[in-house]
Amino acid sequence: MDNNDYSDELYFSGMTEKQKKIYESALEIFAEKGFSGTSTGEIAKKAGVAEGLIFKHFKNKKLLFQKIAFMAVEKTILPLTILRTKKILSENYTDLRFFLNLFFNERLDFIKKHRTFLRIIIQEMSFDAELQNFAKKQFTEKMFPMVSEFIKRHQKKGVIIDLDPSIIIRMVMSSFLGYSILRFILSSDEEWDDDMQIKSMIDILCNGLIKRK
């Protein structure tokens, strides 16, 4: 994973040079080949360390993978998503369409950048209840209240239809998740007009969510 939009140093504090190398190499190979498709030997080779060192530092392969997955979710995916969301929502002039537009485009860029790794995260999540719960908890505690409050505010203004915010959020998330999966995981290398597609999707969503007079 590249580090254009966040600083790595934070998460690597306390790691030796070699430990970092292991972490980074493992991240790349896991992303490309999945958990069971990756061997510790390959990781060690890529990292330029002795295979035994992996086990000194990360106990075993599963834990290495989980540490990477958790750290990716905890330190990168969620904070960035939350941070950006907070920023977008904090603007006074932000309405639903504006929010969805920025959110979808930004998150899609993020997915574009990290897609191989995200694929692994999703797959791992579908087997790993702990990672699931962690992500859900983070979302529920940090993302949900923020967005929910935004929706409620606009509902009070009579702009958004009167549905339970959680339902609206789930609808928006579902659309985005489904779109991303069709877009990236299934149709990996398609020519695809994202701008138009997202605009249409948002049009329909806004059409469905915004109150008429």
Given the rule CB under 8 A, which residues bind a second copy?
Answer: 34, 36-37, 119, 122-123, 125-127, 129, 132, 135-136, 161, 163-164, 167-168, 170-171, 173-179, 181-182, 185-188, 197, 200-201, 203-209, 212
Stretch touching DNA by CB under 7 A, among 1-9, 44-52, 179-187, 193-201: 44-52
With CB under 5 to 8 Å by kind, the binding choice for 19 among DNA, a second copy, none is: DNA
Question: CA 80, 92, 104 angle in degrees (round to 5)?
Answer: 40
CB of 32 to a second copy, least distance (A): 10
Q: Which stretch binds DNA (CB under 7 A): 13-21, 138-146, 174-182, 194-202?
A: 13-21
Ranges within 48-67 binding DNA (CB under 7 A): 49-57, 60-62
Minimum Å gap between C-beta 25 and DNA is: 12
